Amino acid sequence: MKYLFTLFAILFGIFVSAQAKPTKEETVKYIKNIVDRFDLTYGAGETSFLKHYNFSNKIAFQDCYVVIEQQLVYNDDWKSGYKSDFVRVVTKSFDLKDIEQVGEITFSPEKESTTARYGITFHSKSGEKLIEENTSTKGIENNRDANRNNSESESETFLFVELADREKLIKAFNHLRKLCNAPEPISFD
């Protein structure tokens, strides 16, 4: 009987450990792996202009504090004489404890020939402007000097991701929010 009890305890322990949720470190590593590999390159072969841009993400965590860096390298040479050749870096930072909801967003294409862009959104609690955004642009935009810096606080922001990764990332960020003792998102489901 003692042997059966020991065997049952071992099997129960294995079952419970198999059901365990990822740790904070595992969740951060998972998110970082997906977000940092996002790289969108677009080039158009239309006759009126040559447009090329590359968009990439980097993410860093310091405990529950998130820093997202999005970089856009843009080259647009219009035959009509307009030229844009610039690098724009947007750094977004926030504490996950201040995020009330992580959701999804789809950016519809402007033309039928381009594809939709997908992302996830972060909404701060009670609409407070708790998300810091710093934008730095260097280069030429529409034939004008585009060198400028801008800082502001926002109540929501977004992160471009691949469509196949979007749902998994939302779940991972919500799991990380729980591990950071953030309040449960409001749900009317």
Q: Where are the domains of the chain?
A: 22-179
* Average pLDDT rounded to a whole number, residues 102-131: 79
Whole-number average pLDDT of the chain: 80
Residues 164-185 pLDDT 10s: 999 999 999 999 999 998 877 6
Whether residue 120 has pLDDT greater than 50: yes
Q: Tell me, what's the pLDDT at 47?
A: 42
Q: Tell me, what's the pLDDT at 132?
A: 92
SS (H, E, C) the chain: CHHHHHHHHHHHHHHHHHCCCCCHHHHHHHHHHHHHCCEEEEEECCCCEEEEEEEEEEEEEECCEEEEEEEEEEEEEECCCCEEEEEEEEEEEEEHHHEEEEEEEEECCCCCCCCCEEEEEEEEHHHCCCEEEEEEEEEEECCEECCEEEEEEECEEEEEECHHHHHHHHHHHHHHHHHCCCCCCCCCC
More confident residue, 81 or 33: 33
Q: Tell me, what's the pLDDT at 106?
A: 86
